[in-house]
Chains A and B, each alone.
Chain A
Amino acid sequence: DPKIIQKPKYLVAVTGSEKILICEQYLGHNAMYWYRQSAKKPLEFMFSYSYQKLMDNQTASSRFQPQSSKKNHLDLQITALKPDDSATYFCASSPQSNTGQLYFGEGSKLTVL
């Protein structure tokens, strides 16, 4: 059974709309992350959270907002979607923020038309 659940697996949105990507991990980890993988770029770090607190934000745009309602949840809200936001978004977790050993979910593939 997958230990990191991402929903939805695929989604299509229109330019200007808003979407929320869901991530839940059942590994008992204290650190969670969002990464993005697009066709034109390597896997990119976006955010890291430790004990539900934002540790690092590498995303220039405020259109991307992580939300942590529970220790094992880290959702990603994306507003005012643009075609360039089309990518696969991966959620990941690790035991602590300094232990490495990132475990990735299967990703949510977003297409913006």
Chain B
Amino acid sequence: QQQVRQSPQSLTVWEGETAILNCSYEDSTFNYFPWYQQFPGEGPALLISIRSVSDKKEDGRFTIFFNKREKKLSLHITDSQPGDSATYFCAASAGTNTGKLTFGDGTVLTVKP
């Protein structure tokens, strides 16, 4: 059973629109949730993260909304730019070993100009 699920698999938005990427998890011990951005041929890069004690985290155009009761979170990218086109991974870890991440399958985002 996959512990971290992402939807949709792929998403296309127009430049300037808000892209919404969804993530859900199974393990209730997960308490740290980073989102990573990956461009082809590169390694994942940390975009933004949230801990389970918070329900919202904002960093510029990127916002995480977190619902602990439903075990769901979402990444909102406002004013999407073509340069945001990439694969986005939701990940989770438990306890203090925050480097041991469980990743979702990713959402491929395409932003059309």
Contacts and interface: CB of A to CB of B under 8 A. Distances in A.
A42 B97 contact: no
Given A55-B97, A100-B32, A100-B49, A105 B102 contact: no
Interface in B16-59: 32, 34, 36, 41-46, 49
Nearest to A93: B99
A102 B34 contact: yes
A100 B98 contact: yes
A103 interface: yes
A106 B32 contact: no
Interface in A69-113: 90, 92, 94, 97-107
Contacts of A98: 96-99
A107 B41 CA distance: 8
A102 to B, nearest CB: 6
A18 interface: no
Interface string A40-71: 00111100100000011010000000000000
B41 A102 contact: no
A58 B43 contact: no
Interface in A5-26: none
Nearest to A91: B43
Contact of A33 (B4, B36, B42, B99): B99
A105 B43 contact: yes
Given A42-B106, A101-B46, A104-B43, A94 B99 contact: yes
Contacts of A43: 44, 89, 91, 101, 103
A25 to B, nearest CB: 12
Nearest to B45: A104
A2 B43 CA distance: 11
B102 A45 contact: yes
B97 A48 contact: yes
14 contacts: A35-B101, A42-B2, A43-B89, A48-B100, A90-B44, A92-B43, A94-B98, A98-B98, A100-B46, A101-B49, A102-B101, A104-B44, A104-B45, A106-B42
